[in-house]
Amino acid sequence: MGKIRLNNGQELEIIADGIQVSGDSLTLGLVPGNKNIMEYETLLSDAANTSRIQVIDYNEEVFKIYSGFTKIQRIEKQMDAVVNHTQDAEGNPVPVKGVAILVELQKPDETEARIAALEETVDTLVLESLGLA
């Protein structure tokens, strides 16, 4: 199993094949460890933590970086997920099932971000013109 390192430096263990990317969506399969689903939600809902996600290899070196996946779409606990692989006597891969936390992150829509910034600017200007700011 590998690891990811969040922008705040915290490292999380991922299951086998625990990173899936599709367009503006990044899905992480995490090993629960000593955190519950609520703690993962709090940690990964903070855009500062997920703005840069580094994938760490078995030599403790960064080999891939994902940037901009700051909006959490869903988080769920799967009880019967494939978390690893072993081999049988003939060398064939055998899936190992266990518990995993699946988190889907997305890149925020640029239009939404621009609208939110404009609304904030308009609100500030209105308050200033009324002498309330």
Q: How confident is the model at residue 133 (pLDDT cuts 50, 70, 90)?
A: low
What's residue 112's pLDDT?
75
| Mean pLDDT to the nearest integer, 57-61 | 88
Question: How far, in Å, CA of 79 to CA of 121, rounded?
Answer: 46
| Nearest alpha-carbon partner for 69 in 30, 118, 31, 20 | 20
- Average pLDDT over the chain, rounded to an integer: 91
Tokens standing for residue 7: 């922008």
Task: Find which of 19-33, 99-113, 116-130 is predicted with most confidence, using mean pLDDT.
Answer: 19-33
Tokens standing for residue 50: 């997920």
Q: What is the pLDDT of residues 100-122, one digit of tens each?
A: 999 999 998 878 778 878 888 99
Its pTM stands at: 0.78
| Mean pLDDT to the nearest integer, 47-59 | 92
User: Alpha carbon of 73 to those of 47, 49, 55: distances in Å?
Assistant: 12, 15, 20
